[in-house]
Amino acid sequence: MPLRLAFAAVFAWIALAAAAQPATVAPNANLRVENIPPIPQALAERVAAYTEFRGVGFADWHPTRREMLVSHRADGANTPQLFLLRAPGGKLEPLTDFAEPIRTGAFDPVAGRFIVYPRDTGGNEATRIYRMDLDTRQHTQLSNPDERSEFLFNHKGDRLLIFSVPLDRTAQGGRRDEIATTLTLLDPLKPESRRTVATLTGSGWFPLLFSPDDRKLLVLRYRSATDSEVWLLDVATGRNERLLPVADGVRAAYGGFAFAPDGKTIYLTTDQQGEFRQLAAFHLATRKLTPLSAHIPWDVEQIALSEDGKRLAAVVNNDGVDELRMFDPASGAELPRPAVPAGAIGNPGWHRSHPRELAFTLNSPQSAGDVQVLDTATGTLTRWAAAAGAIDAHGFAQPEVVRWKSFDGRTISGLLYLPPARFAGPRPVVIAIHGGPEAQATVAFNGRWNYLINELGVALLEPNVRGSRGYGKTFLDLDNGLRREDAVRDIGALLDWIATDPRLDAKRVLVQGGSYGGYMVLASLVHYSDRLRGGIDVVGISDFITFLNNTESYRRELRRSEYGDERDPAMRAYLQKISPLANAERSRAPLFVVHGKNDPRVPVGEAEQIAARVRANGQPVWLLIADNEGHGFARKANADYYFYTLVKFVEDVLLGK
């Protein structure tokens, strides 16, 4: 055979061999992948419809017109951005266009000539504040680039308060032992006009709102989910006075907050007078708290007072389902409840010029997020913007509340989403554990998890272990300090309960969780590997000592109040004893670890060290790290590859495909 014909035959054979290989999905350049098998292109194609859910979130009303600012990820975009919505069902007009996600912002409260919004870089949470002029679309940075900043307009709308904390990366040695929050007031149109109002030492300071005359500033000092203080700061002098608790030694949580138009009353939520957070009125003249929602045996989690002070909206968390309630501020009486579909209600806000209209985001198992507007005069609910997607979500599963007894006889609850009836027999289970740890699994949209439920026949079970919010302050504190592993034992009791339910397959169970939920995954694998097929740890804590040493300084005291102070020898010994890293040899099931390189809350070293330690013990460990992400994946390109890998892990490990 002539040489050229022989070469042609070889090349043809190579081409045929290559064509015979199934196409795979390559991770993008920002992703570091270790030990993850090739992801078939066919897998990406069959899950594609479940990666296109795009909710819309309410951000702010225009001060004079019936228009609003919303956040949304446009079709084909990688991140959510800000849009202008001029009418119900109208076209979303893009305002921002960045590689970084923009989820919130606010109009200039005077005339709506510009918006102010926060933006970080690569998920590092070093948030900078910007002004965007709506006529020119020019952007101006208003905050110090070396600090983490948030913002608040004064009541008149002519001044912007920027409150900032320094970052560890700007400190000598990359760590700060002394933390302070600086309050700066400026004209947003003339940033050079800035002046320092006050410097508040310590962490956990959050300015909330100005008094109606703009002379005072309400400030929250947050120590933990069950311990905070309310202060009133004089804007002219910087003098700070504690309002609540009135007496020393009283431990309570405070939230919400709205000033009455006359400046004499502050509406807020607090658990000072019971297990749950009640709506209350604090009278500045008498320093007395008057409860308004004592008849509601659940937490009031959000409040919003209309501009004219005549309507007070309250969002009640009823066993994980949000309810919108209305109150008359003058009498304190509850008004007839508006008809709002069940789901999660977010960011309620009254229109300044149309004070009977309340906008909010409504998220439900059948919607990734709609913007709704309630006309409180007529009771009419109008959907201004609807979630988009490539698949109809109206048939997605509604959860049922399930309850089980834990090791100490305490009842623990969770939400169970079952697959469609066409899937016969006991179903494999993914236990998805929330973070916080003070968060809560609530009735809301499950996004991509719906693929596992609807197409793979996997049951999704979201437990609210001790330490979760929504069940009273005693329950919230049950996992603190030396009681940390009691929450892990709640998962053990859940595994017992799964074995009693004929709808579920106790031999096919996998755990997944993010942040603190990631710690719970790792701890569950330490204690219950013989009962679990595997675990997925997303931005999780693997060692409490390294975590507390390396988390950003402005968060350190807050985390010590929850997990314990590692500087105390006895507590340090306990934290070392229970950390999954110290017990990695007991983790005897496949593990998938996911993290963002720029995470300031749970540094990426937590992922790298547990992956290396478990892998050294001979266990399979998949590792996925994104160089341009922080505490979770915000970019669709990264989230898509993570989801493909998650599905592959579930099919290989849980379903045995």
- Residue 537, sorted as left (phi over 0), alpha (psi -120 to 50) or beta, turns out to be beta
Whole-number Å distance between alpha carbons of 145 and 221:
24
Rounded Cα gap, residues 285 and 141, in angstroms: 40
Residue 14: what residue type? I
Percentage of the chain with pLDDT > 70? 96
Give the span between the Cα atoms of 240 and 217, in whole angstroms: 9
| DSSP string covering 430-463 | EEEE-STTT----S---TTHHHHHHHS--EEEEE
DSSP string, 99-165: SS-----EE-TTT--EEEEEE-STT----EEEEEETTT--EEE-S-TTEEEEEEE-SSSS-EEEEEE
Question: HSE on the CB side for 202, CA within 13 Å?
Answer: 9
Contacts of 18 (CB under 8 A, 6+ apart): none
Query: Could you give the CA distance from residue 293 to residue 324 in angstroms, rounded to a whole number?
Result: 13
| Residue type (1 letter), 597 | K
447, 390 Cβ separation under 8 angstroms: no
Residue keyed to tokens 């789901």: 343
Distances (CA, A) of 129 to 88, 105, 160, 382, 546: 29, 10, 11, 32, 31
Closest CA to 624 of 21, 23, 39: 39
Output the pLDDT for position 177.
76
What does the DSSP 8-state code read for residue 224? Answer: E
Classify burial at 645, counting beta carbons within 10 Å of its beta carbon; exposed 0-12, middle 13-18, buried 19 or more.
buried
Rounded Cα gap, residues 398 and 366, in angstroms: 8
- Residues pairing with 190 in the sheet: 187
pLDDT, position 8: 53
- Which residue is it, tokens 């991140």? 79
Mean pLDDT by runs of 10 across the 657 residues of the chain is 50 47 92 97 97 97 97 97 98 97 96 96 94 96 93 95 87 73 96 95 94 97 95 96 92 96 97 96 96 96 96 96 96 94 95 96 96 96 96 93 98 98 97 96 96 98 97 96 97 98 98 98 98 98 96 92 95 97 97 97 97 96 97 97 98 91
Asked whether 456 and 430 are in contact (CB, 8 A), the reply is no
CB within 8 A of 633, min separation 6: which ones?
594, 596, 626, 639, 642
Euclidean distance between CA atoms 65 and 428, whole angstroms = 52
Please state, rounded to an integer, the average pLDDT across all residues of the chain: 94
Give every CB contact of residue 536 below 8 A, 6+ residues apart in sequence. 510, 511, 512, 513, 521, 591, 592, 594, 646, 649
**Amino acid (one-letter) located at 181:** T
For residues 613 and 606, give the distance between their C-alpha atoms in angstroms, rounded to a whole number. Answer: 11
CA 566 to CA 162: how far, in whole Å? Answer: 32
Cis peptide before 437 (omega within 30 of 0): yes
DSSP bridge pairs for 404: 412
DSSP letter string, 367-428:
EEEEEEEEETTTTEEEEEE--B-SS--TTSPPPEEEEEE-TTS-EEEEEEEPPPTTS-SSEE
Contact 82, 74 (CB under 8 A): no
| Closest listed residue to residue 622, CA positions, set 522, 537, 533, 543 | 537
Q: What was the pLDDT predicted at 598? A: 95
The conformational region for residue 109 under phi > 0 = left, psi -120 to 50 = alpha, else beta, is alpha
Using alpha carbons, list the distances in angstroms from residue 357 to 108, 266, 379: 19, 22, 10
Phi/psi at 33 (5° precision):
-120, 130
Taking residue 119's Cβ as centre, other Cβ atoms within 10 Å add up to: 18
Name residue, tokens 């350190």.
556
What HEC string does 554-585 produce?
Answer: HHHHHHHHHHCCCCCHHHHHHHHHHCHHHHHH
Q: How far apart are the first and last CA of the chain?
A: 46
Half-sphere exposure of 69 (CA within 13 A, CB side): 28
pLDDT at 15: 45
Could you read off the pLDDT of 157-210 as tens digits, one per residue?
A: 999 999 999 888 765 566 777 889 999 999 999 999 999 999 999 989 999 999
- 412 closest CA partner among 491, 485, 474, 299: 491
- Tokens at residue 421, please? 């009836």
Tell me the per-residue pLDDT of 508-557, one tens digit each, with 9 for 90 and over: 999 999 999 999 999 999 999 999 999 999 999 999 999 999 999 989 99
pLDDT at residue 646, as a whole number: 98
User: Do residues 428 and 506 touch, judged by C-beta distance below 8 A?
Assistant: no
pLDDT of residue 170: 61
Phi and psi for 562 in degrees, rounded to 5? -95, -50
Closest CA to 166 of 180, 153, 177, 184: 180
